[in-house]
Amino acid sequence: MKIGIIGAGHIGGTLARRLAALGHDVALANSRGPESLRELTAEIGATAVTVEDAVRDRDVVVVTIPLKAVPKLPRGLFGNARADTVVIDTGNYYPQRDGRIDGIEQGTTESAWVAQQIGRPVVKVFNNIYAKHLLEKGQPAGTPKRIALPVAGDDATAKRVVMNLVNELGFDPVDAGTLAESWRQQPGSPVYGTDFDAAGVKTALAKATPERAPEWRAK
């Protein structure tokens, strides 16, 4: 597939490396421009592009930047994307880093807020796993205790595309419901930062409560 990735941090860089190794056409962008990515993309077999080109004519676009940077993306950016492009959001709200985001503080799920900002539906995934584990701990399908990842979104077709990618990367995808339910995998939830298998992820999601713990709220 043709995959664009906006953000070359821990998760973005790891996804670019893994997806390129699997044979996907990966275009990687960041806020500093393509030249800052030439060395990395040459190493991993991806292409360094502008943010605008990362969304143009792509099957999947991954937005993996701090939430505070989402409103700073070029206005109308996803007007350059195809109507059928699947957009993935990997982000987490960290008030100490992002500052106060009123919509999220008032109860909007993090990825629903991202979808509002960019004007496109998103699928939430890759937000609860450490980058090192994403890089190193993928296993073939059917492996006992294979790590599972929750996938939340509103469009069944888009979720299926994303769940297939998760499986290809070496993890069991678990349907975590709609985007409105994606609070079940936000920071502080029982599934956040874990390496549960599919049964463990389902149990953790069921145990989650919508109230954001004080340490995950703006002061």
Whether pLDDT at 80 is above 90: no
User: Within 10 A of 204 (CB to CB), how many other CB atoms are there?
Assistant: 21
pLDDT in tens, 89-134: 999 999 999 999 999 999 999 999 999 999 999 999 999 999 999 9
Distance CA 216, CA 87 (A): 25
pLDDT of res. 219: 86
Please state the rounded mean pLDDT for residues 58-80. Answer: 97
CATH number for 115: 3.40.50.720
> For residue 56, which of 75, 86, 22, 79 has the smallest C-alpha distance?
79
Question: How high is the mean pLDDT of the chain?
Answer: 97
> Domain count of the chain?
1
Six token digits for residue 60? 């999947």
User: Within 10 A of 161 (CB to CB), how many other CB atoms are there?
Assistant: 17
Q: What's the pTM value of the predicted model, to 2 decimals? A: 0.97
> For residue 188, which of 210, 218, 171 has the smallest C-alpha distance?
210
Residue-range definition of the domain harbouring residue 10 = 2-216
pLDDT in tens, 9-40: 999 999 999 999 999 999 999 999 999 999 99
